[in-house]
Amino acid sequence: MKVLVTGGCGFIGQHIVEELVKRNYRVAVIDVTCYEDCHVLHSDVRYYHADITENLDDIFEKEKPDYVIHLAAQVDVVKSIEKPKLDATINITGTINILDCCYKHSVKKLIYASSAAVYGEPAYLGIDEDHPQNPTSFYGISKHSAELYIKAFSDLHELNYTILRYANVYGPGSKANGNVISTFIDLMSNDKQPEIFGDGNQSRDFIFVKDVANANIAALHRGDRQTINISTGKPTTLNELVKKLNSLLNKNLTANYLPARDGDISQSYLTNIKAHDSLNWGIEYSLERGLQFTLNQDKENLHDK
C-alpha cells in the first residue's frame, strides 16, 4: 500500500512518515521544505519538493498513492490574521487541489489534519465532535472550510475520508514559536523563567505526537467518512505544566506571570470517546511519559549536532 503524505517534512509529518515506514507502507512525501531539512530522512521514501497549490498531476500519476494523509498547511494562527489570503490559498485552495488530485487519480481515502481551532471559544467542556464550530481566527476558518470541501467532495465524487481534529500536539521536533511546551522546555532547560499570560490556570489538551501518528495510521483503515477528535480528553493547566517540567528537569523555576491577552481561550479539552470507538485508538503516552520522551530526544539531538 502506498501512502502520500503532504507536509511530510513538518513536525507531525516526520513522525507519521517514520511510523508508516516502520509498518512497511510505501511512502511518498510532498513538501515545500527542502527534504534535506527533514530531521529523519528515509532512503526508501520518495520526497518531492512541491507546493500543494500547484499542479501535482505528475506526482500523483507517478506515485499512484492508495491513501493520502494531508498535513501541508499554513499553521501559524498569528500569521493567518496578518495574511488571511496566504492562509486561505494554502489551507483552502491547496486542499481543493489535493482533493481534485485524489478524485482524478482514484485515491482510496484521504486523511485530513484538522484542528481544535475549528471549535473557537468552547460553549462547554469537554468539547465533542458535535460542538458548534465558531472559529475565531482565519486559521480556524480555513481549517473549517477545508473540512466542508472534503465532505462535499465525498458526497459529489464518493471520495472516502477521515477528518482528524487534533488538540495541542507536542513532542520532539516541534518548533518553539507558538508551541507552549517547546517554548517552556527551551526556556526552562536554560534556567530561564517560562512566561505565562494570565494566572496560569488556563488549560489545554496536550497530545503527544506519536499518539497523533498512530491515530493517522488507524484512520487509513477505520473511521470512514467520520470527523474525529484526537486528544487526551484531559485538561492540563499551564501551572501544572510548569510543575511537571520542573520535576522532570530537576529545577525549581517559577513562572513569570504577564497580563492576560485578549481573545485567549481560558479552558479547553476535547473528548476522545469517538476516537476510541471508531478508530480503536487510545493514547499510549501520558503527559509525563511524552514530556520525558521529548526531553530525552532533544538531548540526543543536541549530542548529534
Ligand X SMILES: NC(=O)c1ccc[n+]([C@@H]2O[C@H](COP(=O)([O-])OP(=O)(O)OC[C@H]3O[C@@H](n4cnc5c(N)ncnc54)[C@H](O)[C@@H]3O)[C@@H](O)[C@H]2O)c1
Q: Residue 122 has which C-alpha cell?
A: 468552547
Of the residues 68, 69, 90, 92, which one makes contact with ligand X according to CB under 6 A: 90
Closest CA to 3 of 149, 125, 108: 108
Residue nearer to ligand X on the CB measure, 14 or 278: 14
Binding window for ligand X (CB under 6 A); candidates: 48-56, 97-105, 184-192, 214-222: 48-56
Q: Which of 199, 209, 137 is nearest to 179 (CA)?
A: 209
Q: Cα(293)–Cα(95) distance, rounded to whole angstroms? A: 33
Round to whole Å and give the CA distance between 78 and 83.
9
> Cβ closer to ligand X: 180 or 253?
180
Distance (Å, whole) CA 170 – CA 77: 16
Active site residue 139: yes
Residue number, 51 or 298, with CB nearest to ligand X: 51
C-alpha cell at 289: 511519559
Tell me the residue type at 230. I
User: Does residue 287 belong to the site contacting ligand X (CB under 6 A)?
Assistant: no
Q: Minimum distance between the CB of residue 54 and ligand X, rounded to whole angstroms?
A: 8
Enumerate residues 167-226 that contact ligand X by CB under 6 A: 168-169
b/e for 75-98, b at 16 or more Cβ within 10 A?
bbbeebeeeeeebbebbbebbbbb
In the complex, minimum distance from the CB of residue 85 to ligand X, in angstroms, rounded to a whole number:
13
Span of 45-53, 77-85, 147-155, 250-258 interacting with ligand X by CB under 6 A: 45-53
Amino acid at 99: L
Sign of CA pseudo-dihedral 141, 221, 204, 5: negative
Q: Which of 47, 139, 161, 166 is catalytic?
A: 139
**Residues 93-152, interacting with ligand X (CB under 6 A):** 94, 113, 115
Three cell numbers, residue 128: 465533542
3 binds ligand X (CB under 6 A): no
265: contact with ligand X by CB under 6 A: no
10 touches ligand X by CB under 6 A? yes
Min separation Cβ 199 and ligand X, Å: 23
Q: Which of 3, 4, 5, 9 binds ligand X (CB under 6 A)?
A: 9
Residue among 156, 253, 166 nearest 205 (CA): 166
Residues that bind ligand X (CB under 6 A): 7, 9-13, 30-33, 51-53, 71-75, 90, 94, 113, 115, 166, 168-169
Residues with catalytic roles:
139
